[in-house]
Amino acid sequence: MIQMLKSVLEQDRAPIVLCNIDHTIVYMNRAAIQRYAKRGGDKLIGQCLLDCHNPHSNEMIKKVVAWFLEDEKNNMIFTYHNDKENKDVYMVALRDDNNTLIGYYEKQEYREAEKVQVYDFSQSLI
């Protein structure tokens, strides 16, 4: 089961960076490693996410995590829209089986329509 879940993350075309509640980067999928290659790529794993952001972003990240901690129903918040890439960005809580906050990640939802043909077996999208 764990391998299947990891494969889901690895196959996603959007960057996925998982952090624990201390803001340590604990996992990056292939898309995230590529996306953040200029900042160190997979060498960012084990580093503090806050070191990658400006003071305002750090303040907002901390506020969101505090909001996640307030109530187990606080699990996802819209953080911004990126016009250049036409995507919406969210922060999402990660919780264990007891609904205890164990971390978070940034979810990116692209709004561009797919450009390949439906069921085009001649190419892989990843």
Q: pLDDT, tens digit, for every residue of 39-48? A: 999 999 999 9
3-class SS of residue 5: helix
Domain 2-110 carries which CATH code?
3.30.450.20
Task: Indicate the range of 8-22, 85-99, 109-123 predicted with least confidence.
Answer: 109-123
The residue behind tokens 């960005």 is 89
Per domain, the residue ranges of the chain are: 2-110
- Compute the distance between CA of residue 110 and CA of residue 86 in angstroms, rounded to an integer: 6
Q: pLDDT, tens digit, for every residue of 9-38? A: 999 999 999 999 999 999 999 999 999 999
- Compute the distance between CA of residue 60 and CA of residue 79 in angstroms, rounded to an integer: 9
| pTM, full prediction | 0.88
In this structure, what token pair is assigned to residue 5? 């879940």
